[in-house]
Structure 1
Amino acid sequence: MMATTTEAGTGAQVPSAGLRGRHNRTNPTFYWMVVPAVILFFALHTFPLLQGVFYSFTNYAGYGEWSFVGFNNYLALFRDDRVLDAYLFTFQFAIVATILTNAIALAVAVGLNARIKFRSTLRGVFFLPNVLPMLVVGYVFSYLFASVLPVLGQSLGIEALSTNILGSESLAWVGIVVVAVWQAAAFNIILYLAGLQTIPTEVYEAASIDGAGPWRRFWTMTFPLIAPFFTINMVLALKNFLMVFDHIVALTNGGPGNATTSISLLIYRGGFQGGEFAYQTANAVVYLIVIVVLSMVQLRFLQRREVAA
């Protein structure tokens, strides 16, 4: 029989303290599931991060001996034109790509959410770019930019498309933006579609009765109601574009010259190929802080907009 005690004043019987303690005891299976994951996370993520922070205060080249140099690596970053140019390009690319990706994804999602034929098929088609390997996509677009578009531009008399834009220092970043937006919009479309499914149809029916047009319904009802999905899409898109690497490797490899060298590519080249392991590790630490701060500020601002909406 279950041991019970009578609660004073009510007459109700409740389990005794000893029995409650046995029921509140954590199942050992919990530890067998969680502890290995924590160990792996620490060994493969946290420890390398701490090790990188440690080496950022040294002159370690990735091999051989090293010694402490204090904050010299961090101070040198602000005097390095390569780093400043890479930051400028990365932020320019990330801001433009984030805005275009969300604008296009939201427009496509709203269109797919309407009552059109082959809606399910079109959803699969639009999501296809997200599952394609970036290097394959990059090589395909490299061929298009180098061979197909110049021929098309010459036949149409469009001077801007008559040459390979990836070979132009002023236009190469545009080609990278096109490819990045084309691929990234697929994931954002799916998230916006999920958000649109949460809006009751009665809301649109009531708006139609009141005489609200499509544009007014979008700004006064649809957009405010999917504000949380807009927030997560903006934060994730900006974070991913700030860490752009494989798009550039596949399309321009940082060229022409250093016109499309991002922070991630600069860290990789200098740290693993240029003997600047400690210096570029300091660059990576600074960039980690920048991304975290920007993501937090962006999240806080957009969440306030959700409340205001």
Structure 2
Amino acid sequence: MKILLTGGTGFIGRRLMSHLRTHHQVSVLSRSPTKVYQRLGHDIEALLSLDELDNLDQFDAVINLAGEPIADKRWSPAQKERICQSRWQLTAQLVDKLKAGSAPPKVMISGSAVGFYGRQGDTLVDEDSRPHPEFSHEVCARWEQQALAAQSEQTRVCLIRLGMVLGAEGGALKKMVPGYRFGLGGPIGSGKQYMSWIHIEDVVNLILFLLEHEECHGAFNATAPEPVTNEQFSRCLAQVLGKPHFARIPAWSMKLLFGEMAQLLLNGQRVMPVRLQQAGFHFRYPSLDKALKETLSAMLKT
């Protein structure tokens, strides 16, 4: 299979590439070909711009994972614009190129996030749940709408609404671990907000699953089947590290430090991967304890 991948040098993209490259021919779209070669190897074709292509007929599949990290910086107006345009603009360009051809890719798998649902309290959330309107929902809703424009009799579109991804190479956990190792880790705010998480190996496996299963289309919650509260996550992380668990980060300090972006940490979603499970996908890491032990063990080796 010939695949066009965006976001190939990112946290998920690099792990995905280690699986794709042995069975498929992959072209990576990146503004920095040097970064592609450094992180992925010189055997990978790097595309600097979609302008190099008249259409996407040469590809069997498109996997779109690119986007400015949503929780890395305070949400200034400029940062909000970067978050939006890094998703919307590229996705719109991909769809335009896809529709310009006569034999387009058979599948487009496009990123999204559980932020689509907005704050949901402790309500169980599936793919049909009604979202709460706020910035994270607005970003994801338009992102998904643009991707779905590629859908036709020739092309199916799968949307993956990612939860917090656990992996040794990056993501939120890598930033959290140092504080816990010093015994300073603890729940944020009330700790009652739910965290929907997924191990990076399951993210890769579900992308491969969606590539191969032609009956799959539409939105899929990319989260483990056991969401936990922030308190439970924090306690489990401390236990796996063998560290005390008594500190607590007050909500006001998060709001002072991160402003509006703090809502991602103080409000949550209890998301279930209903459509993935109905499709027959099996999680390698369904429980948080097992996922954290594997991830933290891998961190020690890096």
**Normalising by the residue count of structure 2, what TM-score does the alignment of the two structures yield?**
0.20
User: Which one has a larger percent strand, Structure 1 or Structure 2?
Assistant: 2
**Normalising by the residue count of structure 1, what TM-score does the alignment of the two structures yield?**
0.20
Bigger radius of gyration among the two = 1
